[in-house]
Amino acid sequence: MVAREFLKSLGVSLWFMVLTFPLVVVRVNTIENTIQWRWVNLAVVGVGAFVLSALWRWALARRENMQRSADARGGRGALRPWESAAWVRPLGAGLLVIFLAIPWFVSTYQTNILISFFLYVMLGIGLNIVVGVAGLLFLGYAAFYAIGAYAYALLNHYFGWGFWTVLPIGGVLAAVAGVLLAFPVLRLRGDYLAIVTLGFGEIVRLVLENWSALTGGPSGISNIDRPGLFGQEMTVAGTNIYIYYIVFVAAVLTLVVAERLKDSRVGRALQALREDEVACQAMGIDRVTVKLMAFGLGTAWAGFAGVIFAAKTTFINPASFTFFESAIILSIVVLGGMGSNWGVILGAAFLVLLPEYMRAFSEYRMILFAAAMVLMMVFRPQGMIPARSKQYRIVDRELELSGE
Amino acid sequence: MKGKISSFVVAGGKQIELVVQDDQCKPELATNAATKLVSDGAKVVIGHICSGATKAALPIYTEAKVMVISPSATNPELTQSGQYPTFFRTIASDDAQAKLGVDFAIGKLGAKKIAVLHDKGDYGKGYAEFAKKFIEEGGKAQIVLFEGITPGAVDYSAVVQKIRQSGADTVMFGGYHPEASKLVSQIKKKRIEVHFISDDGVKDDTFIKVAGKDAEGVYASGPKDVSGLALNKQAIEAHKAMFGTDPGAFFDSAYAAMLAAVNAVAKAGSTDFDAMAKVMRSEKVDTPVGTIKFDARGDAEGVGFSMYRVQNGKYVEMK
Amino acid sequence: MDVQYFFELFLSGLTRGSIYALIAIGYTMVYGIIELINFAHGEIYMIGAFTGLIVAGILGTMGFPLPAILVLAVLVSMIYCAGYGYTIEKIAYKPLRQAGRLSPLISAIGMSLFLQNYVILVQTSDFVPFPSLIPEFAFLEPIAHIFASSDFLIVVVSAVLMAGLTLFIKYTKMGKAMRATAQNRKMAMLLGVDADRVISVTFIIGSALAAVGGVLIASHVGMVNFAVGFLAGIKAFTAAVLGGIGSLPGAMLGGLFLGLSESFGAGYISSDYEDVFAFSLLVIFLIFRPSGIMGKAKVEKV
């Protein structure tokens, strides 16, 4: 048994050594006509593939067993400690206090990192409404982020409008754009919908890039006003802390709204639609309205986040809103757990905070994330912190007596 | 394209301390790096490398009154808008390059019909737009084509056919060498006879190596040749001795920025911005890019561009 | 209306179109059989270009003649890409066959990002110059100003490969098995078709064709970097959709249609919006005619 497993791993290891040989070992400089041989890498690949393939088979076997023994435990089982009522409040309160106090104890730079983190939390939760709750894969999310950011940048640049005026406008614009995009694509199948949104995202970016007269093209827009506080002059550090509180409140608000949404009529309708559209229509759920709401609710947050982002960096250009950015936000959602907002927070922490505090990690950040996306789909499609559906207990004497 | 920034904090005994940050040329990271430097108490920043990142970071420095000297951010707005009083640079701005290119095309090559192309990027498009402006102001030649090309496209032959169709005698291209070499080789492949003039992003030996014999006769503007200066040779030698490699791009101008900054601190006797700026604007400094001082806007006087031409696989300065 | 100019644009559109068609085949075949948009296909094309570069580099220092280098680079690259395609399917898609539509697509996006970053790590994130491997054909000299030898080679090779593939699908046993699997996988399995093998072969063929495209195009434009697969992949996918995804002749037609529209769009309107044309076509087709030009309107099973 062990011998057979060993041979299997050895086979896989050899296969990968052969397969990756040209790219991993050889490096050609066509200009100087020199060739670099990096044999060490081959050993790394060999050993890595050997170990990983053993793990892979073990995990696959485990998955099979889980599926067999799964007595439909999905979303039930014991409550995790932090979900029991005794824990939730103190834990939440503790976190709240920590995050409220943090900017006064760390440098401006650290505050900046945390601002990025909360922006990603907002984006992740927003996308989660569309992807996790409604089950519509969305690959152009950065476009709505861009709509928010450019709404503020342009209105500020041409009309001198302030941050607080544009904040709601940015959110509404992004939501309207989301609904307009959703209108024609709702009939589409899941994967087609994903590609249409990707196309839409790229079109938005290309228009921003080419319409120089309005948007400054690739040079972007600079000198965007920071948010004001009753007309007071603030230092950079002060403004930064101020923005931190804005984005913190916005992120908490996003979280609360999204959590409440799940248990609302619309939220339940969305989840039901995700599972079975036909049954829903039979039950009288208006498919179109509900899905449009999902899009609008999901994209509005990206608009808000965009406005805050523009106010924070004071300079934006189209390069910040590529497909790559959309993919990162999607990976936060996927890693964290589709439909689970706490998962998104964890995902954002992995993406933004880890590379910051582990320099060694930052070089391999993207490749690890990409690998995690694949592995998550294979072994844990529900994410790090899976979403749970609400449980209803029905007590019915007659049913019990009849032994059902 | 890394965007290493270094800055120094001057402590009591005139001891210079280096703090290095990397903004990867991304505006959002640049603001992070800038706030970190300011909160670490930096007084002089050598950087940033890319114009976009510099633009994003400058308001933070302006507010903190930190002197910023960029070796490579060539966006004209940085000095011409007057919004960034603490900004200096040891490299000439883009419009100077476009002006040189246009004057050269019309004056030396007798261009009548010019096709202006760019790579849709910040740098390339800026160059192209300035070139367009100068050609139109000069009124001696007409623009027959003004267009962006997509970096990474599988094929540029449609645009190249368009150049032929437009009847241009000269092509001016704003952008970097990867696209330039594709364009040049397509133009040669399609047997189109035009002069090709480009910017500093193309004045790179890699361009010649990639485009091979197609690169012959291409003109590109770049910083004046300063390799003959004694100070320049010394600086390169020092770099080799220390790191064992040839220095990279912008090494000269970064070294010059550093010398100017050190000089300003030493002469001013403090790291107070106003005192340092006064020195920067009045005292001449010998640097690897020539003897320079700064004008009121922050541009270096005595730093400029020359036109280079590819001859026998090398860029040769046109005198 | 200048006939000569029109013809020039037509030819450059033909080159582009052949490239797109070559890559689109991979998308279309995989989609036809397992209904998955193989997002990582563009990256296979990019890895093909890199493999070709490495082979060409090694042979170049040994002093092989140019045509031999070209042929060997294409062949080796095909073999390796076939290996990559096969491996990717085994890791990222096979375990997900029962898992709805979203999971495989996300897995595919993850794979695509993974391969890009893998190339960044083991090779470089810069643009790498690619040696010009395509010899100048003497007989093309009179028309070289409108149709260079690399254009010619790309068009001819694409046409030959597609013809070969069409015959393969039509007449061989494997081809029949593929068509059967595409129509109804369960039924095909009941009739003794080994679906796993069919799917693997599909990935292998699609990847090998993408590799040919990768090497030829890299040689045609003279450079390559880790991100070239993304744009080329999206364009090729657009071509597949235009022609009706799942249909082989559709992929060729869609490729040509897209190549020509881009070329004429750039020639008569402006190349600034070249990519916007392509993406708009993609969005419009997906919304109003998802079955494409050639595809049969499929009834969504409920």
In this prediction, residue C75 carries a pLDDT of 92
- In tens, the pLDDT along A215-242 reads 777 777 777 777 766 655 566 667 778 8
- For chain A, what percent of residues have pLDDT higher than 70? 83
Query: Which DSSP category does B229 fall into?
Result: S
Closest Cβ opposite residue A109 in set B28, B36, B75 = B36
Contacts of B75 in chain A (CB under 8 A): 219
User: Residue A316: which of C171, B38, B266, B27 has the closest Cα?
Assistant: B27
CA B220/CA C217 separation, integer angstroms: 27
The residue assigned the tokens 């092989």 is: C64
In this prediction, residue C47 carries a pLDDT of 92
> What's the whole-number average pLDDT of chain A?
78
Element (DSSP H or E) covering residue B310? strand B305-311
pLDDT interval class at B200 (50, 70, 90): confident
**What order of strands is seen across the sheet that includes strand B219-223?**
B142-148, B113-118, B170-174, B195-198, B219-223, B305-311, B314-317
Mean predicted confidence (pLDDT) in C260-268: 84
Nearest CA in chain B to C270: B147
Would you say B38 and B21 are in contact if contact means Cβ atoms under 8 Å apart? no
CA B63/CA A238 separation, integer angstroms: 12
Chain C residues with CB-CB distance to B under 8 A? 2, 5, 8-9, 11-13, 15-16, 19-20, 127, 129, 132, 144-146, 148, 150-151, 217, 220-223, 225, 227-228, 231-232, 235, 262-263, 266-267, 270-272, 274-275
**HEC profile of C46-72:** HHHHHHHHHHHHHHHHHCCCHHHHHHH
Helix B27-39 and helix A287-313: axis angle, to 10°?
40
User: Residue B49: which of B97, B98, B9, B91 has the closest Cα?
Assistant: B91
In this prediction, residue A76 carries a pLDDT of 46
Mean predicted confidence (pLDDT) in B280-289: 80
Which residues, in sequence order, are bridge partners of residue B196? B171
Closest Cβ opposite residue B39 in set A107, A220, A309 = A107
The residue assigned the tokens 């991304």 is: B26
A207 vs B252 pLDDT, higher one: A207
Contact call for B154 and C267, based on CB within 8 A: no
C-alpha distance from C3 to closest chain B C-alpha (Å): 11
Mean predicted confidence (pLDDT) in A164-171: 83
Would you say A121 and A99 are in contact if contact means Cβ atoms under 8 Å apart? no
Q: Quote the pTM value.
A: 0.82
Mean predicted confidence (pLDDT) in A281-293: 79
**HEC profile of chain A:** CHHHHHHHHHHHHHHHHHHHHHHHHEEEECCCCEEEECHHHHHHHHHHHHHHHHHHHHHHHHHHHHHHHCCCCCCCCCCCHHHCHHHHHHHHHHHHHHHHHHHHCCCHHHHHHHHHHHHHHHHHHHHHHHHHHCCCCCCCHHHHHHHHHHHHHHHHHHHCCCHHHHHHHHHHHHHHHHHHHHHHHCCCCHHHHHHHHHHHHHHHHHHHHHCHHHHCHHHCECCCCCCCCCCCCCCHHHHHHHHHHHHHHHHHHHHHHHHHHHCCHHHHHHHHHHHCHHHHHHCCCCHHHHHHHHHHHHHHHHHHHHHHHHHHHCCECHHHHCHHHHHHHHHHHHHHCCCCHHHHHHHHHHHHHHHHHCHHHHHCHHHHHHHHHHHHHHHCCCCCCCCCCCCCCCCCHHHHHCCC
Contact call for A210 and B148, based on CB within 8 A: yes
- In tens, the pLDDT along A26-68 reads 887 766 677 777 888 788 888 888 888 888 888 888 877 777 6
- In tens, the pLDDT along A337-362 reads 777 788 888 888 887 777 666 666 66
Contacts of B153 in chain C (CB under 8 A): 231, 274
**What order of strands is seen across the sheet that includes strand B290-294?**
B285-287, B290-294, B300-301
C-alpha distance from C104 to closest chain A C-alpha (Å): 7
- Residue C80 above 50 pLDDT? yes
Nearest CA in chain C to A330: C106
pLDDT interval class at A107 (50, 70, 90): low
Interface contact B35, partner A, CB < 8 A: yes
- In tens, the pLDDT along C116-129 reads 888 888 887 777 77
Contact call for A22 and C54, based on CB within 8 A: yes
Peptide bond preceding A157: is omega within 30 degrees of 0, i.e. cis?
no
- Residue B193 above 70 pLDDT? yes
**What order of strands is seen across the sheet that includes strand B87-89?**
B16-22, B4-10, B44-46, B67-70, B87-89
Would you say C210 and C26 are in contact if contact means Cβ atoms under 8 Å apart? yes
Residues 146-175 of C with CB under 8 A from A: none
Interface contact A227, partner B, CB < 8 A: no
Tally the residues of chain B.
319
In this prediction, residue A237 carries a pLDDT of 64
Mean predicted confidence (pLDDT) in C176-200: 86
> CA angle at residue C227 from C221 to C231, to 5 degrees?
75
Contact call for C8 and B120, based on CB within 8 A: no
Mean predicted confidence (pLDDT) in C4-11: 83
Interface contact A212, partner B, CB < 8 A: yes
Nearest CA in chain B to A309: B28
> What's the whole-number average pLDDT of chain C?
84
pLDDT interval class at C48 (50, 70, 90): very high
A neighbours by CB contacts (3+ pairs under 8 Å): B, C
Backbone dihedral angles phi then psi of residue A21, each to the nearest 5 degrees: -50, -55
Nearest CA in chain B to A236: B60
CA B48/CA B29 separation, integer angstroms: 11
Written as one letter, the residue type at A226 is R
In this prediction, residue A71 carries a pLDDT of 47
Chain B residues with CB-CB distance to C under 8 A? 120, 147-150, 152-159, 161-162, 164-165, 178, 181-182, 185, 189-192, 206, 209-212
pLDDT interval class at B3 (50, 70, 90): very low
- Beta carbon pairs, B and C, within 8 Å: 91
Nearest CA in chain B to C236: B154
Joined together, the tokens standing for residue A359 give 């320099």
Nearest CA in chain B to C15: B155
The alpha carbon of B133 is separated from its chain's Cα centroid by a whole number of angstroms, namely 19
C neighbours by CB contacts (3+ pairs under 8 Å): A, B
Residues 230-249 of C with CB under 8 A from A: 230, 234, 237, 241
Closest Cβ opposite residue A235 in set B55, B56, B63 = B63
Contacts of A212 in chain B (CB under 8 A): 125, 129
In this prediction, residue A319 carries a pLDDT of 79
Contact call for A220 and B122, based on CB within 8 A: yes
User: Residue C42: which of C230, C186, C223 has the closest Cα?
Assistant: C230
Would you say C33 and C245 are in contact if contact means Cβ atoms under 8 Å apart? no
Interface contact A330, partner C, CB < 8 A: yes
In this prediction, residue C43 carries a pLDDT of 92
The alpha carbon of C44 is separated from its chain's Cα centroid by a whole number of angstroms, namely 9
Closest Cβ opposite residue B59 in set A112, A314, A320 = A314
Would you say A26 and C58 are in contact if contact means Cβ atoms under 8 Å apart? yes
Residues 254-293 of C with CB under 8 A from A: 272-273, 275-276, 279-280, 282-283, 286-287, 290
CA B54/CA B256 separation, integer angstroms: 18
Mean predicted confidence (pLDDT) in A242-252: 85
Contact call for A23 and C50, based on CB within 8 A: yes
Nearest CA in chain A to C108: A374
- For chain B, what percent of residues have pLDDT higher than 90? 0
In this prediction, residue A77 carries a pLDDT of 47
CA A196/CA C1 separation, integer angstroms: 35
The b/e string for A149-174 (b: 16+ C-beta within 10 A; e otherwise) is bbbbbbbbbeeebebeebbebbbbbb
Contact call for A315 and B27, based on CB within 8 A: yes
Contacts of B189 in chain C (CB under 8 A): 144, 148, 150
In this prediction, residue C190 carries a pLDDT of 87
In this prediction, residue C77 carries a pLDDT of 93
C295 vs B299 pLDDT, higher one: B299
In this prediction, residue B14 carries a pLDDT of 46
CA B253/CA B91 separation, integer angstroms: 7
Nearest CA in chain B to C4: B165
Q: What separation, in Å, do the N-terminal and C-terminal C-alpha atoms of chain C show?
A: 51
